[in-house]
Each structure stands twice: as C-alpha cells, then as structure tokens.
Chain A
Amino acid sequence: AQTVTQSQPEMSVQEAETVTLSCTYDTSENNYYLFWYKQPPSRQMILVIRQEAYKQQNATENRFSVNFQKAAKSFSLKISDSQLGDTAMYFCAFMNNNAGNMLTFGGGTRLMVKP
C-alpha cells in the first residue's frame, strides 16, 4: 500500500513571493504518477500539476513547478509570484499505474497568501 505524507499542515506567504510545499510518499512501485490538487474554499478539487515517475524532467505549469526526487520519494510544489487566489488547501496525491487509477492523498497543506 502507498502512503503520502504532507508534513506542513499550514503555511503562509506574502503576495508575490515564492513558497514550497512538501510531499513525501512511500511505494514499492516503479511506474506511477504524482499530482498536486488545489482545493479553494469552494471545495472544488482542481488539478494543479502532474508528474510521471518515468520522466526525469520536473513538470512546470506557469507559476507552478515541482521538484521530483524519485530516489528520495519526494515531490514538492513550488508556487512562484504567489497570488491571493492561490489561498487554498493543497493535496499531494499518488496514483499507481497498475491499480485502477486510484489516488492516495496526503493530509493536505493549508496555504494562506497574505496581501
């Protein structure tokens, strides 16, 4: 079974600054996917970024990028030029390539962007 750990329950950042959210996972699988989802106060789950484990290059989506360290089983999210709309819960999630596309979620990090 996989486990996903987010060690930072809450974080805050000043608007326009950069913040990094941590995520570690434990698995014996070699082929898998990792995701960061954002959940704003509206409670919608919004996909932020995804990373395939077989790709060495870190994924980037505009202001969002990841630092994927496969050997260390680490998958951190960096948000650059933070905006007030980035205030939300952020969840790291693991998907086993061979297990029905099921997601295992971390406990979440609550991010507050301050003006």
Chain B
Amino acid sequence: DGGITQSPKYLFRKEGQNVTLSCEQNLNHDAMYWYRQDPGQGLRLIYYSQIVNDFQKGDIAEGYSVSREKKESFPLTVTSAQKNPTAFYLCASTSTGIPTGSNQPQHFGDGTRLSIL
C-alpha cells in the first residue's frame, strides 16, 4: 500500500542530545512537510521541501534541521537548541501539481511523539 511511514512512534530525548525523526513516503510525491502539534492545539509548520536537495523554513524552524537527499525521505532532526521539544510531530506529503496544475491535499503519516527524559 502507498503511504507515509513515520518512525519511531515514540521517542525520548536527553538534555543536550540531538534526535532524528524519520519520514518516508512511497506516493511519488514531490513535496514533503514537517508539522509540530502541541496538546490541544493546531499544527504549525516547521520545514517543507518541494524538491530534492531544497527545503524552506516554516513558521517555527528554530532548533530544527532537515535534509532532502532523496525524493522519498525527509528526516527531521530536533537539535539541542530546541529547548521545548516535547510535542507530537507529523510528516506530510503531496503532489505539487507540476506539471498537471492540480493541487492535491496533503497526506499525513501517523506521527511521532517526542518527550524529554
């Protein structure tokens, strides 16, 4: 089945440690996104990438880093500079509509819950 796979489902971070969240999609989507969700709140965009080897900061990029070396993969690293990393992280992907011109909705993974030890 085509879809988006996020791993791990649960992750714990120690003080001063960097951790990486995995996101893989087999939907042949061009664009991929990372969102953060805090309890009882909506999703906020961290980073997004519309093409391999290119990515852009979202609204809350500080303390995070990403890479896009392959079309299928968009890992997110939560660095030690992110002082409040406890949250639920969602990865999404979509076809950008180039060259079809049709914008498609985003498809989401099942998320990773990150907590501080």
Q: Which 6 A-B pairs have the closest CB atoms?
A: A45-B108, A105-B42, A105-B43, A107-B42, A47-B105, A43-B111
Q: How many residues of B contact A (CB 8 A)?
A: 26
Q: Is B58 an interface residue (CB 8 A)?
A: yes
Q: Is B50 an interface residue (CB 8 A)?
A: yes
Binding site for B on A (CB under 8 A): 4, 33, 35, 42-45, 47, 50, 91, 95, 97, 100-108, 110
Q: Say whether B42 contacts A101, CB under 8 Å.
A: no
Q: Say whether B110 contacts A43, CB under 8 Å.
A: yes
Binding site for A on B (CB under 8 A): 31, 33, 40-45, 48, 50, 56, 58, 88, 90, 92, 94, 96-97, 103-108, 110-111
Q: CA A108 – CA B33 in complex, angstroms?
A: 19
Selected A-B contacts with CB under 8 Å, 23 pairs: A33-B103, A42-B110, A43-B111, A44-B108, A45-B90, A45-B92, A47-B105, A91-B42, A95-B105, A97-B103, A100-B96, A101-B50, A101-B94, A101-B106, A102-B33, A102-B45, A103-B45, A103-B92, A105-B43, A106-B42, A107-B41, A107-B42, A108-B41
